[in-house]
């Protein structure tokens, strides 16, 4: 409530003069309003100027794993899901399968899968060695799991005789004594070991792909795995079969076929000749 | 053919005198055949003596026999001097048995071909006719034979004194058994010695410790040794447990996934084997209940155990019952536990008989 006198005195003068004393209640109310206003001002300023903090959903990946993720996002998410968690009816979760599993499946060409069927088949690999390593690194960093030791030759110190014993008790029932492979149920099969490299054999033992059982390091120590690999690579692959011709190393099936197609036919014709009229 | 009922039909007017010097050897042969009622109708050489054809055939037969001799000699030489000890990689030793087989085969084939060629090509063609005997002897001969036999029977006195006959038979019968006993006895062995058809090496001995599950090198097995989805072949941890002496004992210890293990335990409970598993571990006999081959092809995702011989498949998560193939009984399950030192032990022996059916199996 200014009088004519105050208006003439000027704005600044008016602001300088002390306001009239007010009641205690009105003073407190005013203080509260000013407090709230100040807080709101501070909060607003903070919200505007503070850096935008998002939830950390992209784990920090190493360089190789980041490359692997890029490959994964292009080639694998259809069946294995965006975060490798698996898609029902198409692909299992890859959390925990480890670099060993990826190395085996990708380097042998089994993954990317051509079609859903009883078993993935070995075929020419889609990814190079470098890319395979990157994919493996990505999956390893994503969920952990078994890893194949370094190096391309994993059987340097392997004991072939011990490897032979271990092969016969653990591997020969499915993969056959000559490592030619064998049938399993319902369209599945244990493949021939002849195209496999050291790393692939090691990775398969460690990760148990599809229906192959898992042979962890507690069951077959790394030295024992090296023994088995030495036996396979040195003896089974390079040993000559007695007589030179192994009929595919499938055992009784091909041998029986040969006997019936060649041997029995020859015997039949021989008996016809012997007993025929002279 | 001849309709004669008489004996001497095609012999001709009278028998030839074989001492007649005018007869050729062939005439005598033909006479001998005639006296057996065989008439040599046609006899002519296929190749005339001295012709080129005969010489050629002779050389062929001789050639076969020569091949036989060479092959047999080669067999002996290979048997003595060819390397036979195993060596890794390529080598002559890999051809030892094939070469022995080849030379032996050639030798035998040479004999066969030689003899067959000789017989089929060099020997004369012959056509003979043999009269079919009607089979009856003359009436008088029959009477005489019959009466003689009856007379001998009477004279023996068996009819009048039956005791003779009975004692003879009764006394001789065990003698026949005596002759056969050493031969047959050597073949029989007691199949139920030590109740061996119903027990395996895992049976806990009286007042003794429970038997540990060990690997092929004798080391006992801890649960941590078998990964999830893995399997290991185990044997009884006793003397000669890993040998043919306990060939009925090899067992497959399987570490199932959680979901499969629960299904397996529910199946176990359905048949009263509720405590046979330990955690997620189950142990089943490897001896197929069909014909006894080791069923050890384990598929970790389908949980099927496949036998390679006749392709019986056993579903591990349902008490290893057969789901395919000729087997009709489930695989026996070994009740397992972990002892105080952390190694797997068999709580008791298998509670079903191991392996294929046998007569006394309940």
Same domain? A135 vs A116:
yes
Domain boundary among A85, A120, A147: A147
In chain B, the residue whose alpha carbon lies closest to the alpha carbon of A239 is: B89
pLDDT at site B277: 96
Domain interval for residue A94: 62-147
pLDDT at site B11: 47
Same domain? A67 vs A109:
yes
User: Nearest-CA neighbor of A68 among A106, A97, A96?
Assistant: A106
- Segment B233-258 shows an average pLDDT of 95
Taking a C-beta distance cutoff of 8 angstroms, is the pair A185, B324 a contact?
Answer: yes
Indicate the residue of A160, A213, A241 with minimum beta-carbon distance to B298. A213
Same domain? A91 vs A154:
no
Taking a C-beta distance cutoff of 8 angstroms, is the pair A180, A248 a contact?
Answer: yes
User: What distances in angstroms separate CA B267 from CA B201, B271, B277, one per listed residue?
Assistant: 26, 7, 11
Interface contact flag, A186 B97, Cβ < 8 Å: no
In chain B, the residue whose alpha carbon lies closest to the alpha carbon of A216 is: B227
Please check whether residue A274 lies inside any domain of the structure. Answer: no
Phi and psi angles of residue B169, each rounded to the nearest 5 degrees, phi first: -65, -45
Residues 6 or more apart whose Cβ sits within 8 Å of residue B196: none
End-to-end CA distance of chain A: 151
pTM: 0.76
Q: How many CB pairs under 8 A join A and B?
A: 92
* B120 contacts in chain A (CB < 8 Å): 278
Q: State the Cα–Cα distance between residues A251 and A173, nearest whole angstrom.
A: 12
Q: Which domains does chain B have, with CATH numbers?
A: 1-136 (no CATH), 140-172 (no CATH), 213-346 (2.102.10.10)
Please check whether residue A104 lies inside any domain of the structure. Answer: yes
How big is the CA angle at B218 (ends B215 and B220), to the nearest 5 degrees? 65
* A245 interfaces chain B, CB cutoff of 8 Å: no
Q: State the Cα–Cα distance between residues B285 and B349, nearest whole angstrom.
A: 11
List per-residue pLDDT tens for chain A, 278 residues long: 455 555 556 777 767 766 666 788 888 899 999 999 999 999 999 888 877 665 555 668 889 999 999 999 999 999 999 999 999 989 999 999 999 999 999 999 999 998 888 899 999 999 999 999 999 999 999 999 999 999 999 999 899 999 999 999 999 999 988 898 888 999 999 999 999 999 999 999 999 999 999 999 999 999 999 999 999 999 988 888 888 788 888 778 888 999 999 999 999 998 998 888 76
Between the CA atoms of B193, B198, B203 and B205, what dihedral angle is there, to the nearest 10 degrees?
-40
User: Nearest-CA neighbor of B10 among B37, B32, B41, B43?
Assistant: B37
Q: State the Cα–Cα distance between residues A110 and A129, nearest whole angstrom.
A: 14
Taking a C-beta distance cutoff of 8 angstroms, is the pair A213, B230 a contact?
Answer: yes
- CATH code of the domain covering residue A100: 1.10.760.10
Indicate the residue of B90, B119, B300 with minimum beta-carbon distance to A240. B90
Q: State the Cα–Cα distance between residues B106 and B112, nearest whole angstrom.
A: 10
Please check whether residue A239 lies inside any domain of the structure. Answer: yes
Same domain? A156 vs A123:
no
Arithmetic mean of pLDDT over chain B: 91
Indicate the residue of A169, A219, A238 with minimum beta-carbon distance to B230. A219
Between the CA atoms of B200, B203, B206 and B207, what dihedral angle is there, to the nearest 10 degrees?
150
Report the number of distinct structural domains present in chain A.
Answer: 2
* A204 contacts in chain B (CB < 8 Å): none
Strand, helix or coil for residue B294: strand
Same domain? A81 vs A143:
yes
* A116 contacts in chain B (CB < 8 Å): none
Please check whether residue A83 lies inside any domain of the structure. Answer: yes
To probe the interface with A, which of B96, B308, B316 has the most A CB atoms within 10 Å?
Answer: B308
ipTM given for this complex: 0.75
Q: Closest Cα of chain B to A276: distance in Å?
A: 10
Same domain? A184 vs A217:
yes
Same domain? A117 vs A183:
no
The per-residue pLDDT for range A140-192, each reduced to its tens digit, is 999 999 999 999 999 998 999 999 999 999 999 999 888 988 889 999 999 99
């Amino acid at each position: 409530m200014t009088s004519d006198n105050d208006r003439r005195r000027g704005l600044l003068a008016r602001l300088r003069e002390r306001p009239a004393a007010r009641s205690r209640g009105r003073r407190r109310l005013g203080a509260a309003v000013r407090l709230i206003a100040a807080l709101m001002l501070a909060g607003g300023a903070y919200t505007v100027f503070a850096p935008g903090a998002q939830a950390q959903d992209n784990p920090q990946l190493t360089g190789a794993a980041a490359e692997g993720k890029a490959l994964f996002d292009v080639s694998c998410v259809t069946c294995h899901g965006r975060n490798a968690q698996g898609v029902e009816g198409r692909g299992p979760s890859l959390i925990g399968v480890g670099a060993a599993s990826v190395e085996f499946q990708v380097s042998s060409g089994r993954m990317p899968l051509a079609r859903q069927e009883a078993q993935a088949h070995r075929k020419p690999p889609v990814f190079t060695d470098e890319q395979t390593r990157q994919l493996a690194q990505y999956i390893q960093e994503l969920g952990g799991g078994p890893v194949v030791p370094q190096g391309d030759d994993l059987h340097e110190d392997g004991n072939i005789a011990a490897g032979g014993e271990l092969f016969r008790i653990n591997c020969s029932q499915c993969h056959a004594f000559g490592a030619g492979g064998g049938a399993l149920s319902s369209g599945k099969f244990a493949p021939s070991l002849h195209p496999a490299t050291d790393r692939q054999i090691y990775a398969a033992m460690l990760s148990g792909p599809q229906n192959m059982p898992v042979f962890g390091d507690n069951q077959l120590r790394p030295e024992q795995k090296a023994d088995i690999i030495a036996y396979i690579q040195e003896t089974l692959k390079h040993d000559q079969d007695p007589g030179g011709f192994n009929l595919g190393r499938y055992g009784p099936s091909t041998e029986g076929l040969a006997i019936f197609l060649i041997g029995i036919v020859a015997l039949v014709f021989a008996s016809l000749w012997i007993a025929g009229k002279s | 053919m001849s309709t004669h009922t008489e004996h001497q039909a095609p012999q001709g007017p009278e028998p030839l005198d074989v001492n007649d010097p005018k007869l050729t050897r062939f005439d005598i042969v033909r006479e001998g055949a005639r006296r057996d009622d065989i008439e040599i109708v046609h006899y002519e050489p296929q190749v005339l003596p001295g012709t080129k054809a005969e010489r050629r055939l002779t050389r062929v037969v001789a050639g076969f026999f020569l091949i036989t001799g060479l092959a047999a000699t080669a067999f002996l030489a290979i048997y003595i001097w060819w390397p036979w000890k195993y060596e890794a990689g390529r080598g002559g030793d890999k051809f030892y048995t094939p070469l022995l087989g080849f030379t032996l085969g050639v030798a035998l084939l040479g004999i066969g071909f030689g003899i067959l060629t000789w017989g089929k090509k060099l020997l004369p063609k012959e056509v003979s006719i043999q009269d079919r005997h009607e089979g009856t002897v003359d009436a008088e001969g029959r009477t005489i034979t019959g009466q003689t036999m009856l007379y001998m029977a009477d004279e023996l006195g068996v009819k009048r004194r039956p005791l003779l006959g009975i004692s003879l038979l009764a006394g001789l019968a065990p003698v026949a058994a005596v002759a056969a006993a050493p031969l047959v006895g050597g073949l029989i062995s007691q199949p139920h010695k030590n109740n061996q058809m119903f027990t395996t090496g895992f049976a806990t001995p009286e007042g003794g410790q429970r038997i540990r599950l060990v690997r092929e090198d004798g080391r006992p097995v801890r649960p941590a040794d078998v990964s999830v989805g893995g399997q290991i072949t185990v044997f009884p941890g006793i003397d000669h447990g890993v040998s043919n002496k306990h060939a009925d004992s090899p067992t497959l210890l399987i570490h199932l996934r959680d979901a499969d293990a629960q299904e397996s335990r529910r199946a176990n409970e359905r048949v009263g084997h509720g405590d046979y598993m330990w955690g997620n571990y189950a142990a089943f006999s490897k001896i197929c209940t069909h014909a006894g081959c080791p069923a050890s092809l384990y598929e970790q995702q389908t949980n099927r155990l496949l036998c390679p011989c006749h392709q019986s498949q056993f579903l591990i998560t349902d008490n290893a019952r057969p789901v395919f193939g000729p087997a009709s009984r489930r695989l026996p399950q070994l009740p397992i536990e972990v002892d105080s030192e952390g190694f797997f032990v068999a709580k008791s022996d298998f509670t079903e008989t191991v392996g294929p059916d046998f007569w006394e199996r309940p």
